[in-house]
Amino acid sequence: MTKLKIIIAPDQRLNTICTEVKRIEKGTLFFIENMVDTMYESNGIGLAAPQVGTMDRILVMDCSYDENNRKLKKIINPEVIEYSDELSEYEEGCLSLPQQFAKIERPSKVKVRYLDINGKRIEEEFGGLEATCVQHEIDHLNGKLFIDHISKLRKKLILKKLQKYKKANNL
């Protein structure tokens, strides 16, 4: 498989709302496998299609941190249908915002409706880190980054650092 190029913020593609996948074809499945390889090779726990330049509602995630017991999810057209009232706070990072982290508060449990790679409609409840990860990745599909959940000043500082990072790394 192929490691895809990860888009680094600031980039307008990361602020774009993605379109629903109408049909799951061989090309879609091949792209998803490349996303999985890219996520693992980049030491990420989640990756959304717009992070690699494709504006489709697709994400992959694996919060297991265990190569021998993977819990890989390949999710198409996700939609959060229930949020818990209870909140959790995790320090979030992002492959599109290298070396940048912030504590973000989100619902501790969510129920998500999505299609699997066979086109089967699934409703699944996520809790803990998986709930945070799936919400983070769905945010990407809606044109949002985790820094959209922090103060405007802190967001501005992070984007300034990322512009310097992109310039220094010819990105």
Segments of 116-160 assigned E as strands: 121-127
The H or E element containing residue 155 is: helix 152-168
Q: What is the structure's pLDDT at 66?
A: 75
Residues 6+ apart with CB under 8 A from 97: 8, 9, 145, 146, 147, 158, 162
Q: What is the mean pLDDT of residues 55-61?
A: 99
Q: What is the structure's pLDDT at 70?
A: 87
For the cut 90, the answer to whether the pLDDT of residue 40 exceeds it is yes
Q: Give the model's confidence band at 72: pLDDT under 50 very low, under 70 low, under 90 confident, else very high.
A: very high
Mean of the per-residue pLDDT values of the chain: 97
Identify the CA nearest to 83 among candidates 116, 59, 62, 105: 105
Signed CA dihedral, 99, 100, 104, 106: sign only: negative
Is 137 tagged catalytic? yes
pTM of the model: 0.96
Q: What is the structure's pLDDT at 7?
A: 98
Segments of the chain assigned E as strands: 46-48, 58-61, 73-83, 87-92, 102-107, 109-115, 121-127
Question: DSSP letter at 170?
Answer: T
Q: What is the mean pLDDT of residues 13-22?
A: 98
Q: Calculate what percentage of the chain has a pLDDT beyond 70.
A: 100
| Domains assigned to the chain | 12-169 (3.90.45.10)
For the cut 90, the answer to whether the pLDDT of residue 65 exceeds it is no
Q: Give the model's confidence band at 1: pLDDT under 50 very low, under 70 low, under 90 confident, else very high.
A: confident
Q: What is the structure's pLDDT at 112?
A: 99
